[in-house]
Each structure stands twice: as C-alpha cells, then as structure tokens.
C-alpha cells in the first residue's frame, strides 16, 4: 500500500478538533491545496544536510521560539526580535565550540497546541478547550471556542508574511555578523576568531522554519509532490516535529510524518521506552539516514538521569544516525500561584545533564530546543536578571507555556557554549 498525504486518515488521531461544519472544512482544505508553499524543497534539503552534519558531530542544532504564535501578537518587530535573538544565541554557541550552528525557529506555522483535556468547564459552562489560534479563540465564549477551519487560512497568510520577513532579515544580517561574533566572544571571555569574523557573505546566517505537525487538516494540503526528488514534502515548513502526546506508533501523526521527506523531530518524554523508540525510528526512518530524525529529549531535570541513558544506549547499540537534542522546557513546568512557570536553574540543570549523559554514552550532544521570545516577559524565573516570584504578574503574556525572555535565553546559550567547550 503506497503512502499519500491522506493516509493518516485511516489511523486513530488524537488531539484533532471536532469541526462542526464539514463543508467549511472541505473548503478551507481546498484553498490550502491551491495555496503557495511556505518552504521550498531546496531549503528543506539544505536543512537536512546540515542536520546530518550535526548528527555526525560536526554541527549543532539550535531550535527556538514561542510556545504558540498568535494572530494578536504578530508583527514585523516581533519576527525581527526572534530572528536576532536566535542569531545572537547561535553566535554564542559557535564562539564556544567553533561549531556550525544550524538555526531553526518555531515560527511561521507554530499555532496548534495539544491539550490534556478536550473541554474546559467554568462556572458550570463547558466549552471546547483552546487548541491554538489555528483552531479556535482563547477567550472563553461559545462562538470563539467553536473550531473554525477558516483560521487555517489566516495562519497560512500570516506565515507567508513571516517567511518573507525572515528571508529579508537573512539578506540584511550579514552586515551584523562580525559585531555579533565579537560580542559573543567578549561575553564568554574569549578572543574573537579572525577566520570566523571574515566569513564569506554566501554563508550569511539564515533561520529555518519549523512547527509541530499537529493539525493534520492543515498539513495534508501543504504536502506536495516533487518530481525531481520523486518524494512528498511538507512545504508548510522546513522541518516539523511530532509532539509528546501524538507520537503513538500506529497513530495518525506518525503515519503522516512517515511519508514526507523533511527532517522530522520526535519529542521523547519520560514515558517513552527504548523498544518504542526503536520502533518509531524504524517507522519514520527505515533507511537510517543522517539528517532525517531529531530525537528531542524532554524529561525534566529530575527525571533525565533515570530515562535518557537507556534510550541513548539503545540508539547507539542499534547504530542509529538520528541526532539527539534536548528540550529542557517541557519537563520542567511548575505551577506558582495560578501561573505555569519554569526555573532557569532547572533548564540549565537538564541541559548540563544532557551533555554529561550523551558524552558518557558516546553520543554527540547536538541540539537545544527552547521556548523563548525577544520580548521583555516575566514568565520564567531566575537567570542573570534574577526574576523572582513577585515579578511573574508584571509581564506574563503567554496564553500557553512560559517562555524565556531574551536575557534568560542568552544565559542558556552561554551555558551551552561552556558545555560545548568543556
């Protein structure tokens, strides 16, 4: 049986909305099928080649951005601050290890969110859960919470603008590259590398796009056949990942991802067994091709030492060419008062444990996945700015998970630079 972009429909799907209007859904899907792609096969292949270099120990994958993009917070300034923050972080990591840093944003499609419950009850009223702006509205009212397929078209429109902005910033960023590298070296107390400072404009920094391939009604029509490579590609982003709640071996999300040629991330949380991981790798990457799979651990600072060594020992013993990365955010969420937050110290601890475990297992610790924003938010606690509990309400803007602000994100990148150097 051959794969097609609709193959996922024959599998049990979790985390998809129940659209009440089938006709409106079909109309939105056919509009997307006719819509412009948001990435190109050439870019996607270039990213895969660089991820392959990371898997072989010659590069480092830096992935970061909002937990969820929204319609309300969109703007050119926001895209530019994210772009600049990621490049500043990449320069720090590069200064630490002289490594090639592959920079990927959670942007231009990161709108759909998995939820632990399908509905929410407030004062005796039960409504569908908020699943991200691509599905419904965050405000608790019956009209807003009804899943609306036309929102997928607004996501496509906004993502197209975002991609254009990223391309424009990439073209302009070369001029900033030497000062960026000098500043990174200064922060780490190093002398700037003159060779790196004189880099060729052809290697101008660029930021790739990524998101969780969660809303398959959106992904399917943006999956396109490429004659040259004789393959199906997701052209909704350069790379996509499968989340912790949808990585079921026989589920729709794995079935979808198995047939596209892009680099695929898989979140690996505390419940994943070594055997399940091997079977996932077999399904998603039967040819064991470097650059195809990124295994993104997200255990929490407490759990990582109990879970990761066995998983890495298994991928090593099986000779898998998958890249191992760490998401030190999603296993470290805590509730303080009524708010979800994360402590920079937990994030640093899980990151350091990742490097130590990887080295003990003979694995290249090759990637970092963060939720961050260039805005001055007060959503995570600690870091060099020493944000305390009392600061949380000041600028707590996320509708979803708590993000590192720019200063905290640079703290984590500087720590990774030190770990790379060690």
**Within 39-78, which residues bind Mn ion (CB under 5 A)?**
67
**Within 264-283, which residues bind ligand PEP (CB under 6 A)?**
267
- The reply to whether 242 sits near Mn ion by the rule CB under 5 A is no
Bridge partners for 103 per DSSP: 62
**Within 86-105, which residues bind ligand PEP (CB under 6 A)?**
none
Residues 133, 159: contact at Cβ < 8 Å?
Answer: no
Annotated ligand binding at 379? The verdict is no
- Write the DSSP string, 114-125: --SSSEEEETTE
Residues 94, 144: contact at Cβ < 8 Å?
Answer: no
- The reply to whether 307 sits near ligand PEP by the rule CB under 6 A is no
**Within 361-420, which residues bind Mn ion (CB under 5 A)?**
401
- Say how far apart CA 280 and CA 258 lie, in whole Å: 9
Closest CA to 332 of 345, 342, 320, 318: 342
- The reply to whether 128 sits near ligand PEP by the rule CB under 6 A is no
The binder of ligand PEP chosen from 180, 181, 298, 307 (CB under 6 A): 298
Residues 299, 329: contact at Cβ < 8 Å?
Answer: no
Q: Choose between 199 and 245: whose C-beta lies nearer to ligand PEP.
A: 245
Annotated ligand binding at 29? The verdict is no
Annotated ligand binding at 245? The verdict is yes
Handedness of CA 221, 44, 207, 422 (dihedral sign): positive
- Piece of 239-247, 285-293, 306-314, 372-380 that binds ligand PEP (CB under 6 A): 239-247
Annotated ligand binding at 244? The verdict is yes
- Closest approach of Mn ion to the CB of residue 63, in Å: 12
In 189-346, which ranges are E strands?
Answer: 208-212, 223-226, 231-234, 239-242, 264-268, 293-297, 323-326, 334-336, 339-341
- The reply to whether 133 sits near ligand PEP by the rule CB under 6 A is no
Annotated ligand binding at 298? The verdict is yes
- Closest approach of ligand PEP to the CB of residue 243, in Å: 3
- Closest approach of ligand PEP to the CB of residue 330, in Å: 4
- Closest approach of Mn ion to the CB of residue 300, in Å: 14
Residues in contact with ligand PEP, counted by CB under 6 A, come to a total of 9
**Binding-site string for ligand PEP from residue 391 to residue 420, where x marks contact by CB under 6 A and - marks none:** ----------x-------------------
**Token pair 């998101």 in the structure block, residue:** 211
Say which entry of Mn ion, ligand PEP, none residue 160 contacts (CB below 5 to 8 A, set by partner kind).
none
DSSP structure class, residue 129: P
Say which entry of Mn ion, ligand PEP, none residue 270 contacts (CB below 5 to 8 A, set by partner kind).
none
**Token pair 């019956």 in the structure block, residue:** 142
Residues in contact with Mn ion, counted by CB under 5 A, come to a total of 2
**Cα 9–18–134 angle (5° rounding)?**
90
What are 319's two structure tokens? 């000779």
- The reply to whether 67 sits near ligand PEP by the rule CB under 6 A is yes
Spatial CB neighbours of 356, under 8 Å, sequence gap ≥ 6: none
Residues 147, 130: contact at Cβ < 8 Å?
Answer: no
**Within 327-366, which residues bind ligand PEP (CB under 6 A)?**
330
Applying CB under 6 A, the residues found at the interface with ligand PEP are 67, 114, 243-245, 267, 298, 330, 401
Applying CB under 5 A, the residues found at the interface with Mn ion are 67, 401
């Amino acid at each position: 049986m051959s794969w097609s972009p609709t193959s996922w429909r024959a599998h049990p799907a979790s985390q998809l909305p129940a659209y009440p209007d089938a006709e409106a859904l079909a109309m939105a899907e056919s509009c997307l099928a006719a819509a412009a792609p948001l990435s190109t096969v050439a870019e996607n292949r270039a990213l895969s080649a660089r991820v392959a270099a990371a898997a072989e120990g010659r590069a480092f994958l830096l992935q970061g951005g909002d937990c969820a993009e929204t319609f309300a917070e969109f703007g050119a300034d926001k895209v530019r601050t994210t772009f600049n923050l990621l490049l500043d972080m990449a320069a720090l990591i590069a200064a630490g290890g002289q490594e090639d840093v592959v920079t990927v944003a959670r942007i231009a499609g990161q709108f759909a969110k998995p939820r632990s419950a399908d509905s929410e009850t407030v004062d005796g009223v039960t409504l569908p859960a908020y699943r991200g702006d691509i599905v419904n509205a965050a405000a608790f009212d019956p009209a807003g919470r009804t899943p609306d397929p036309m929102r997928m078209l607004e996501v496509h429109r906004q993502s197209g603008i975002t991609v254009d902005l990223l391309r424009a910033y990439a073209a302009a960023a070369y001029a900033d590259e030497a000062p960026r590298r000098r500043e990174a070296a200064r922060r780490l107390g190093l002398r700037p590398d003159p060779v790196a400072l004189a880099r060729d404009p052809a290697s101008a920094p660029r930021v790739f796009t990524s998101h969780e391939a969660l809303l398959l009604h959106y992904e399917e029509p943006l999956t396109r056949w490429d004659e040259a490579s004789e393959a199906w590609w997701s052209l909704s982003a350069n790379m996509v990942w499968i989340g912790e709640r949808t990585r079921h071996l026989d589920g729709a999300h794995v079935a979808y991802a198995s047939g596209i040629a892009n680099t695929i991330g898989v979140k690996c949380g505390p419940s994943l067994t070594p055997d399940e991981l091997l079977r996932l790798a077999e399904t998603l990457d039967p040819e064991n091709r470097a650059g195809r799979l990124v295994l993104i651990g997200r255990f929490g600072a407490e759990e990582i030492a109990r879970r990761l060594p066995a998983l890495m020992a298994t991928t090593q013993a099986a000779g898998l060419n998958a890249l191992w990365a760490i998401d030190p955010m999603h296993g470290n969420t805590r509730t303080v008062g009524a708010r979800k937050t994360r402590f920079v110290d937990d994030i640093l601890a899980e990151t350091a444990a990742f490097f130590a475990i990887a080295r003990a297992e003979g694995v290249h610790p090759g990637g970092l996945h963060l939720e961050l924003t260039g805005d001055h938010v007060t959503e995570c606690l600690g870091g060099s700015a020493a944000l305390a509990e009392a600061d949380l309400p000041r600028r707590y803007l996320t509708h979803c998970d708590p993000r590192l602000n720019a200063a905290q994100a640079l703290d984590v990148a500087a720590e990774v630079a030190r770990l790379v150097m060690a």
